[in-house]
Chain A
Amino acid sequence: MTEPIIKIENLGKKYILRQKEKYITLRDSLNNLIPNLLSKNNREEFWALKDINVSLYDGDVLGIIGKNGSGKSTLLKIMSRITYPSQGQLTIKGNVASLLEVGTGFNPELTGRENIYLNGAILGMKSIEIRKNFDEIVNFSGVEKFLDTPVKHYSSGMYVRLAFSIAAHLSSDVLLVDEVLAVGDAEFQKRCLRKMGQVAKSGRTVLFVSHNMQSISDLCNRVILLSEGKLIGDGKPQDIISQYIDKIRNVADKENNINTEGRKGTGLVKIDKVEFDNLISGEEARIKMYYSSAKRNDKLINCRVAFAVKDLKYNLCFICSTEMYFEDNLQLNPTGILECTINKLPLGEGEYVVDLFFEENNVVVDWLKDSMIINVSAGKFHPGVRQVPKGHEGKAGTLVEHKWSTL
């Protein structure tokens, strides 16, 4: 191989953890001046990334996977120069465009046309470039008719389409993308994926962070897996995705416990354990969620508790949420067990990934992505002989009751 396009050497990023506050104020700093001088070093260091070494070559499309907080976004942020590394070095040949979000800097008061120029410039396009691509951007977005309407009057779909269209016309040697595809309707998402595929095929080097294993395996020729800031896997998409799933399985297998890495939310209430009973295709499954709150004695108000089931490609199968069953403002004891019954489990034989979610009064208190792997055994969902189509064993997605007849 020739020279690498991107060379990451011993890259690390350290954050100083402050106490709970989100930001500091001058007043607090002045108040704490004397105590801080007396008791030195109550600061805690935290390495969001450590000792990362990767080299990428021309035309590589690299997928970055890992749980929340594993350092994926930090890596992308360093590469796009939004934040600085604390150690190591990163060499990139050519120019870089980064898409950590679509529509960055859109101004609601300005029209679609004006926002194309504004957002384009923010993303680093020259105005000549924007003018040259203007018609194409407008066509791709499908908002021609509203070009001279302030974007505050746009529907969220139109807004996202316009934003993505601008971004899709960025020309650079290296493109960094962070889950921007998680927006817009399904049809538009497909278009975005196609566009990304084209970009990748045109020989540019692309780095792509996503939770969706399907798009990762569709687009990338190489995947790296991060965990707690360290690189723990680097290789072919299929191998690394299985490594990732094995990793969840290993932790999750211990007495049906959950993998808590990358846990989000305030932590006021924590989901301690989830039991899946009778996981047989087509039978009644019972799910028990054990939760507890160390800090609260009164009732939890306006709760929303849910779990989502995804296949191993991370396509969503279904979500079960209390809000679909109970009236609004569900009140719960600060510690307790919730049971959910699925009358006829609509999943084929195989493994699935589960996300858990707990919200109190519009505040996310606990959110565990990819917290466990569940194993569904074969059963009789369909009355026929075959339960899943040929060739779809273990990856049938959600099952739906249906009938056929000849007319």
Chain B
Amino acid sequence: MIKNKNDYLIIKPPSGLLNIDWNELWKYRELLYIFAWRDIKVRYKQTVIGIAWALFQPFVTMVIFSFFFGKLAKVSSEGVPYPIFVYSGLLFWNYFSSSLTNASNSLIKEQNIIKKVYFPRLILPISATVTHLIDFGFSLLIMIGMMIYFKMQLSLHILYILPLLLIITTISSSGIGLFLSSVNVKYRDVRYILPFFIQILLYLTPVIYPVSIIPENIRWIMYLNPMSGVITIARSMFLNTGNIDYMSLLVSLFISFLYFLFGIYYFKKMEQYFADII
């Protein structure tokens, strides 16, 4: 492990369970911004297409889901129009799934840099997660448009609940992303399983259906998935489908922290081998 004592840099074989050099991480924060800036810049380089895609993709998903699940399958939507019901779920789900995918592939994608330059590797998955906040912003515009269209009342809770939900989503996707990105370095076939895993997760999360259709006695299982809590609370907040469940907010926050800690732990454990096996 590496220690900075005054001006001395000591490099020796890694030992100990988990030591994160927070000072160093702070010193490298600029690199985190730069990576995020680069990803955003490259994605929105062709500004029109970039932004159009960020708007188009969630919108079309919403239309298709509304048609098949809302109109044909008649999935319950707790009394609000199905399109806005499913969109409020997709809003957070898309942010979660795309940042998770991006974070999981971040190390493999930047293997050339990892092999040639030192910097705290934690930066890569985390910046990959944060980058998708921009897309979230664009998707939120559609949400606002739909709320106006469906004449929804905007509750003031949004001011503090929305940031909290974003924090929960970000730390759980980067936590799981940290874990998966290190597994991905070791086992190169993981990236092929990943889309399938995320697909499954979509159906295990109340995006296209309300959490209320799950039998009460097994509903607690849903809360192992912080996105269940996030989406259910997002609905109470945007659509007034019920009171905000503060208990579930706390549970989700707690669970997402657990995922994050586990992710960091596993990542740090594997970090020493990255350059050798990538």
- The answer to whether A194 has its CB under 8 Å from any CB of chain B is no
Central interface residue in B11, B110, B119, by most chain A CB within 10 Å: B11
Q: Judge if B213 is at the interface, Cβ distance under 8 Å.
A: no
Question: Do A90 and B12 contact each other (CB < 8 Å), given the known contacts A84-B272, A104-B112?
Answer: yes
Question: CB distance A82 to B272 under 8 Å?
Answer: no
Alpha-carbon gap, A25 to B2, bound state (A): 30
A100 adjacent to B42 (CB under 8 Å) = no
Give per-residue flags for B130-168: 1 if the beta carbon is below 8 A from chain A beta carbons, else 0.
Answer: 000000000000000000000000000000000000000
Report yes or no: B116 in contact with A100, Cβ–Cβ below 8 A. yes
Q: A24-B188, A109-B45, A114-B41 are in contact. Are A122 and B10 (CB under 8 A)?
A: no
CB pair B13–A86 under 8 Å, yes or no, is yes
Out of B34, B190, B272, B277, which one reaches A26, CB within 8 Å? B190
- Please report which residues of chain A, range 9-52, place their CB below 8 angstroms from some CB of chain B when the two chains form the complex: 15, 23-27, 29
| A77 contacts chain B at the CB level, 8 A cutoff | yes
Tally of contact residues, B, Cβ under 8 A: 36
Near A by CB (< 8 A), chain B positions 114-128 give: 114-119
* B10: A residues at CB distance < 8 A: 89-92
B71 interface residue per 8 A CB criterion = no
Question: Any chain B CB within 8 A of the CB of A133?
Answer: no
B-contact bits for A50-78, CB 8 A (1 contact / 0 none)? 00000000000000000000000000011
Q: Are A82 and B275 in contact (CB under 8 A)?
A: yes
Whether B113 sits at the interface, judged by CB under 8 Å, is yes
The CA of A124 and the CA of B119, in the complex, are separated in Å by 8
Question: Which B residues are in CB contact (< 8 Å) with A86?
Answer: 13
Least CB distance, A17 to chain B, in whole angstroms:
12
Q: Mark A74-117, 1 if CB is under 8 A from B, else 0.
A: 00011111111111111111111010110011010110001001
A82-B116, A105-B112 given; A121·B30 CB < 8 A? yes
User: Is B14 in contact with chain A by the CB < 8 A criterion?
Assistant: yes
**B216 within 8 Å of A by Cβ?**
no
Digit string of B1-23 for contact with A (CB within 8 Å is 1, else 0)?
01000011111111000000000
Say yes or no: B187 contacts A92, CB within 8 Å: no
Can you show 11 pairs from A to B with CB atoms below 8 A apart? A24-B186, A24-B187, A78-B11, A79-B11, A84-B13, A85-B12, A90-B12, A92-B10, A101-B116, A124-B117, A126-B30
Kindly list the 5 A-B residue pairs having the minimum CB-CB distance in the complex, ordered from nearest.
A26-B187, A81-B118, A25-B189, A121-B34, A90-B11
